[in-house]
Amino acid sequence: MANGFSEGWRRVRSAAAGFVWLLAVSAAVMLVSAPALAAEPVKTVGIYVDPFYRSATTPGAAPQVATGKPHAELLASTRREDILTVRDRIMASPKVVTPMTLMVLAIRLYDVGLRDDAVLWFYIAKDRHVTLTDVAVAGTPLLAQADQAMRDFSTLAGPILNGYAFCDLANQRALRAKALAWVESNPYEVIFMERLPARSADRAAALAQSIRAVKSNAEKERAYFDDPKNAASFAEARNKNEADAKYCWK
């Protein structure tokens, strides 16, 4: 398939071991260190993560979305205004929106050309899931499918979304900070549900500790790119692998 439509049209198998949360900087470094591909602009995120999402196999067609009510139907729309409606509805009522729904929102925002929004919601989805797993008992069956799905989404969609995010380090930094602030201001209500086994009786304190850890990781990422040598090396690697041609199109 041409015109970048097939970029990322991959699927990871469900045999991966326990979930390891990587810093965005690590994902970005892995992206630019990968073997160079044809430098075609990547206009869509072509992946599938069962059972939640399957991208369309032809340009302009609708994807398959199974993230549940009330947002799945509109997320499968090919109309930009419908995707923006989902975004606005989630912003108005975010308490129980799953990280998988947020991931699909990020993908669909990218597909309709709203790449800054896509990166923002990609980071929000990852941070919301991290806070959930930090509070919940490790390995709880209730979260097994979500953990696998988020691992798959990050592995498959992450290189494309970070590929665009790191076109502009200042913009990426601003989006990262905005996402973290949103997650802190809009805690995932599922964390406080009794049916979810928690590591601590004080879930609010555990959530606060998780937020502090996420902030610390963001600071480490910021410090890494504040070093001119690291920033120059990163830019050189992106240039070598034609990342700008693939992800920084206007």
Q: Please identify which residue in the block is written with the tokens 């993560």.
A: 49
How many Cβ atoms are within 10 Å of 84's Cβ, its own excluded? Answer: 16
pLDDT of 139 reads 86
Q: Please identify which residue in the block is written with the tokens 């995010």.
A: 165
pLDDT of 120 reads 98
13 domain residue, yes or no: no
- Among 33-37, 74-78, 118-122, 169-173, where is mean pLDDT lowest? 33-37
Contact 80, 68 (CB under 8 A): no
CA dist 62 to 87, 111, 113, Å? 18, 11, 15
pLDDT of 23 reads 37
Q: How confident is the model at residue 245 (pLDDT cuts 50, 70, 90)?
A: very high
Predicted structure pTM score: 0.86
Beta sheet of 64-65, edge-to-edge order: 48-49, 53-54, 64-65
pLDDT of 45 reads 97
- Containing 139, the helix (H) or strand (E) segment is none
pLDDT of 20 reads 33
pLDDT of 7 reads 38
29 domain residue, yes or no: no
Q: How confident is the model at residue 60 (pLDDT cuts 50, 70, 90)?
A: confident
Q: How far is Cα 28 from Cα 12, in angstroms, rounded to an integer?
A: 19
Q: How far is Cα 247 from Cα 114, in angstroms, rounded to an integer?
A: 13
Q: How far is Cα 147 from Cα 1, in angstroms, rounded to an integer?
A: 31
> What value does the mean pLDDT of the chain take?
88
14 domain residue, yes or no: no
125 domain residue, yes or no: yes
Contact 41, 140 (CB under 8 A): no
How distant is the alpha carbon of residue 26 from its chain centre?
Answer: 14
Range of the domain at 180: 40-247
230 domain residue, yes or no: yes
Lookup: tokens for 178: 């905005």
Tens of pLDDT, residues 126-156: 999 999 999 999 889 989 999 999 999 999 9
For 169, list phi and psi in degrees, rounded to 5.
Answer: -65, -35
19 domain residue, yes or no: no
Q: What is the DSSP letter of 53?
A: E
Q: What is the mean pLDDT of residues 241-249?
A: 95
Number of domains in the chain: 1
34 domain residue, yes or no: no
Higher confidence at residue 199 or residue 2? 199
Q: Please identify which residue in the block is written with the tokens 């592995």.
A: 155
Count of residues making up the chain: 250
Tens of pLDDT, residues 9-56: 333 333 232 333 333 444 444 444 444 445 799 999 999 999 999 999
Q: What is the mean pLDDT of residues 99-125?
A: 98
CA dist 1 to 8, 40, 68, 156, 188, Å? 11, 11, 30, 17, 39
Higher confidence at residue 106 or residue 31? 106
Q: How far is Cα 158 from Cα 179, in angstroms, rounded to an integer?
A: 15
pLDDT of 38 reads 57
79 domain residue, yes or no: yes
Lookup: tokens for 67: 């993230």
For 9, list phi and psi in degrees, rounded to 5.
Answer: -75, 80
Contact 69, 101 (CB under 8 A): no
